[in-house]
Chains A and B, each alone.
Chain A
Amino acid sequence: MKKILYLLLLSLVLSASGCSGAASEDDENTLYIYNWGEYIDPDVLTMFTEETGIDIVYDEYETNEIMYPKIEAGAVNYDLVCPSDYMISKMIENDLLEEINFDNITDKDNIGKEYWEKSEEFDPGNKYSVPYVWGTVGILYNKTMVHEPVDSWGILWDEKYKDEILMQDSVRDAFMVAERYLGYSMNTTDEDELQASKKLLQAQKANVQAYVVDQVRDKMIGNEAALGVIYSGEAIYTQRENPDLEYVIPKEGTNVWIDSWVIPKNAKHKENAEKFINFLLKPRIAYMNFDYITYSTPNIPARALIEDEDIRKSPIAFPNLSDYDLEAYSYLGEDADRHLNDLWREVKSY
């Protein structure tokens, strides 16, 4: 009996060290990536490992706000993270990022000039980040349930659609909707404007079916709601799955965002991270990712590879930026962040 137990234990310990080996050995040949959920073609990861022999440990997060404390606490050493613009400037400000060695990013010119310029807004001098995908935030609606033209955020307050509305469960995106509807900047720190936005969101709550992030996609595909606030990148995918869905950018304007790769200060495999960034810049790889996640790519040669002309020229995936009133989030500072979080909790508390 004892012998069996001992043998069992021994084999388990061995297999445990085998399976968590990648995590504990801290081998030169690994790369720790922390990315948004469903934000890369898994085949790309396999291809990278096959090509370079570097093992990838891959984790996902749901919102920028969930990602940040993990990096800040430093208990977790990720080598590569993919935050949004405003979060990158917060990380730069708090000295959490390492400068990327652009000598290793030989394919950086595949990213269109305009995107490098846009990046300067949150990463002056383009020192810390390489753009990955970009897009807008808009309303996805189901044509069989909404029989009127949708062109304003205001429809999210229409009582006709009580319990048929899905809102984003992330502070900035939720407040952006209210702030834009009221005609404010989405980066406002004016107390009156914030309070007014909060009141508006509280008034909306009775209409909202749920506050979710990635679930908007599945719920809209499954006809479980009529209207949802969603990132433009999901629009093409959801339309593929359910042709009744339509994406619009409201006339009051919306957020335009860039998610870029950055290397945290405590990264242990910086060179591997740079190799991976460069790998993602290859037109074929960037195209594979676009095809899988359907978020707009800033990679010009990759876009040229898109066969379907409707998608290559799609106003959803690649909108003409000057046609809309667009604004990017900027980092508001520690105190304003905290205040916004408090207000958001007030909205969500029952």
Chain B
Amino acid sequence: MKKTVGRLYLTLVLIFLYAPIATLMVLSFNSSKSRAHWGGFTFEWYLGLISNEEIMDAFRTTLILAFLSAFIATVLGTAACTGMQFMRRRYRSIIMGITNIPMLNADIVTGVSLMLLFIAARVSMGFTTVLLSHITFNIPYVILSVMPRYRELNKSTYEAALDLGAGPVYAFFKVVLPDLMGAVLSGFLMSFTMSLDDFIITHFTQGPGFDTLSTKIYSEVKKGINPEIYALSTIMFLAVLILLFFVNYRPHLDKENVKK
């Protein structure tokens, strides 16, 4: 009984969460450009997608931006965590306090403050300003992911490596980093996702001729959306879905193989 109620509840929430996604997927096959009518089934938007320069450009920019910002944030963030291990507790907590600011602050305030900074510095808005902003809001995700792992880390392996004559840099890459890799990677992935989905901060720091998928969608929502956007999102969503299920099922398969 309890299980049935639980399952029912789960299903209801799932319907709520996936209803808009299903709607978008259905619209991606709607031959009528108007979202109010079903004009028949079509693959037109999927075929047209590749030749739609604007959307593909925005898509490429989004991916490059997400990758670069996540990568740089991961390097800076991991370095920061490493350095903080050698600091006094008081300084460390000051830095962690600063790190929390972009996490807890409203996106609109972060975006506006960066816009004011760039305008005051007379930097012309574009890819660079957006990249700088994305790195800024990504670093905290890396730090918050890597810091706890450092606390669990056994420091004696690092010290042993030093005693055995390894330089600190060599010891870090050979001994410490492999242990951190899981946390570093999840920090990277989190940053990547955040950058991919960000609209508000990009909205305030973007320049001419620059669009990510989010800003493109925002302007299209206002002037009538191009169904090719639905097609692209459907593809992206399915790709992630397949990837996640693959990653999730693989360990189970391995275990089963071992049993046999």
Contacts and interface: CB of A to CB of B under 8 A. Distances in A.
Nearest to A241: B34
Interface in A310-332: none
B61 interface: yes
Size class of A's contact patch? 35 or more
A35 to B, nearest CB: 12
Interface residues of B, number: 28
Contacts, number: 86
A12 B209 contact: no
Nearest to B177: A2
29 contacts: A9-B68, A9-B71, A12-B68, A13-B68, A19-B61, A20-B61, A23-B207, A24-B126, A24-B128, A34-B208, A37-B219, A37-B222, A57-B209, A75-B119, A75-B122, A75-B125, A75-B207, A77-B124, A77-B208, A214-B222, A214-B223, A214-B224, A215-B223, A218-B34, A218-B224, A222-B35, A222-B37, A223-B36, A224-B36
Interface in B82-96: none
Interface of B: 34-37, 57, 60-61, 64, 67-68, 71, 118-119, 122-128, 207-210, 219, 222-224
Contacts of A58: 209
B208 A60 contact: no
Contacts of A224: 36
B208 A23 contact: yes
Given A32-B209, A214-B222, A15 B60 contact: yes
Interface residue SS majority, chain A: mixed
A57 B126 CA distance: 12
A106 to B, nearest CB: 28
B222 A213 contact: yes
A12 B64 contact: yes
Interface in A23-42: 23-24, 32, 34, 37-38
Contacts of A77: 124, 208
B24 to A, nearest CB: 17
Interface of A: 5, 8-9, 12-13, 15-16, 19-20, 22-24, 32, 34, 37-38, 57-60, 62, 73-78, 212-215, 217-218, 221-224
Contacts of A217: 224
- Nearest 5 pairs of A and B residues by beta carbon: A57-B209, A222-B36, A214-B223, A37-B223, A20-B127
B57 to A, nearest CB: 7
Nearest to B224: A218
Contacts of A38: 223-224
A226 B254 CA distance: 61
